[in-house]
Amino acid sequence: MNMNFEFATASRIIFGPGSLARVGSIVADLGQRALVVTGQDTARASKLVDQLQASDIHVHLFPVDGEPEIETVRMGVEVARQHHCQLVVSFGGGSAMDAAKAVSALATNPGDIYDYLEVVGKGISLTVQPLPCVAIPTTSGTGSEVTRNAVLWARAQTVKVSLRSAMMLPSLALVDPELTLDLPRELTARTGMDALSQLIEPYVSSRATPMTDAICCEGIRRVAASLRTACTDGSNLAARQDMSLASLFSGLALANAGLGAVHGFAAVIGGMYGAPHGSVCARLLPEVIEVNLRALSEREPASPAILRYRHVAQLLTGNQAASEQDGAVWVRELCKELDFPDLNQFGMQLEHIPEVVEKAQKASSMKPNPILLSFEELSEIMVRAL
């Protein structure tokens, strides 16, 4: 257990049904000219725009179609500078929030985006404080409202990369579960499984801390209790509230304890095949749990991660006698129930596995995995997930 730790998050978090109604008066303190980054359908943000305009905030809409690409961010920065925006407000899923965080950072920092990107760029640290960023999620899965990075698709290099800095933590995360009531079943399932993987991986991570442990356990319990209900009865506010809280907790956890092999692979597969992130995480999670457990039992049988996987299984199943392997069984059964496809449905084939594994081994998310997996073990995970 890491007893020397730091915990960083958004400057302010507001959570609760109906909390969107408070946004105008709160955001007015951050500036009077806002770039509002949304998903493709800007009409969904009409209530937000009304709230901001009622507080005399000038709004410039910037829709993001699909996952944010490097060029998307460049365009957003140009719009923010052209209209002299003093803050950036995101309203949408992880794509809108990541784009907004990147735009707010690059609007104030000199040079090109590639100067600051990891993997495909120079990885230079930001030197100027970004514009204030307000993150308002309308899905319950990414936790991006409280993380310090923006995941962007480098299309030319067929990989997803991060723009990362402690300065990129939003000034305000406003989480209103009512905004998720109209989320379709498929997207509810995808984002829900993303949240679950982002709670399990930090809990077994080599960087876990007492604070992230508490957050992860509570989040896992809520996903186990409410994800099925949120998928089958989207109007159930109690279930939506649980999933919004679990998503928030997953962002807090990953930002402070890291992730693992699921996300090490997911970034690569998403970049190469354009596969939905939540679907990839769902399909990989049970395979990663099982291969991690076998590697731990063979090479590090005294590792506390084994007991942590057992606790995960107990939280998921509600059975205090559950074994560590039961968690993978529970996840696999849920994935079948929610109709998650195998990875070959996104174009991945056996012959692609060596390239995927090689790239995943270099991913930053792979580093906190509870045990270093070999090339052969990582390849096995891919074969199982096909």
- Look at residue 1 and tell me if it is in a domain: no
SS3 (DSSP) at 124 = coil
Which residues form the domain of 320?
185-385
Report the pLDDT value the prediction gives residue 159, as an integer from 0 to 100. Answer: 84
pTM of the model: 0.95
Following DSSP, what letter does each residue of 130-188 receive, concatenated? PPPEEEEESSSS--GGG-SEEEEEEGGGTEEEEEE-GGGS-SEEEE-GGGGTT--HHHH
- Look at residue 191 and tell me if it is in a domain: yes
Domain boundary among the residues 179, 214, 247 is at 179
Specify the number of domains making up the chain: 2
Query: What torsion, rounded to 10 degrees, do the Cα atoms 236, 238, 240, 243 define?
Result: -140
Q: Taking a C-beta distance cutoff of 8 angstroms, is the pair 122, 116 a contact?
A: yes
SS3 (DSSP) at 34 = strand
Report the pLDDT value the prediction gives residue 84, as an integer from 0 to 100. Answer: 97
Report the pLDDT value the prediction gives residue 102, as an integer from 0 to 100. Answer: 98
Asked if 329 and 232 sit in the same domain, the reply is yes
Asked if 280 and 362 sit in the same domain, the reply is yes
Report the pLDDT value the prediction gives residue 128, as an integer from 0 to 100. Answer: 97
- CATH number of the domain within which 131 lies: 3.40.50.1970
Asked if 286 and 197 sit in the same domain, the reply is yes
- Look at residue 370 and tell me if it is in a domain: yes
Report the pLDDT value the prediction gives residue 383, as an integer from 0 to 100. Answer: 97
- CATH number of the domain within which 247 lies: 1.20.1090.10
CB atoms closer than 10 angstroms to residue 334: 23
Asked if 25 and 125 sit in the same domain, the reply is yes
- Look at residue 229 and tell me if it is in a domain: yes
Report the pLDDT value the prediction gives residue 158, as an integer from 0 to 100. Answer: 84
- Look at residue 8 and tell me if it is in a domain: no
In whole angstroms, give the CA distance from residue 154 to residue 116.
13
Cα 340 to its chain centre, rounded Å, is 18
Residue that has been written with the tokens 């993997």 in this structure: 119
Domain boundary among the residues 147, 179, 211 is at 179
User: Contacts for 157-161 with beta carbons within 8 Å, 24 or more apart?
Assistant: 157/119, 157/120, 157/271, 158/271, 158/272, 159/119, 159/120, 159/267, 159/268, 159/271, 159/272, 159/359, 160/67, 160/267, 160/268, 160/270, 160/271, 161/117, 161/118, 161/119, 161/120, 161/121, 161/267, 161/271
Report the pLDDT value the prediction gives residue 1, as an integer from 0 to 100. Answer: 65
Asked if 173 and 45 sit in the same domain, the reply is yes
- Look at residue 212 and tell me if it is in a domain: yes
pLDDT single digits (tens) 274-315: 899 999 999 999 999 999 999 999 999 999 999 999 999 999
Q: Taking a C-beta distance cutoff of 8 angstroms, is the pair 91, 38 a contact?
A: yes
Asked if 153 and 227 sit in the same domain, the reply is no
Asked if 199 and 300 sit in the same domain, the reply is yes
- Look at residue 4 and tell me if it is in a domain: no
Report the pLDDT value the prediction gives residue 160, as an integer from 0 to 100. Answer: 87
- Look at residue 5 and tell me if it is in a domain: no
Using CA atoms, how far residue 61 sits from 33, 52, 131, 199, 240, in Å, is 11, 12, 16, 33, 27
Domain boundary among the residues 131, 163, 179 is at 179
Asked if 118 and 209 sit in the same domain, the reply is no
Regions of the chain with pLDDT less than 50: none
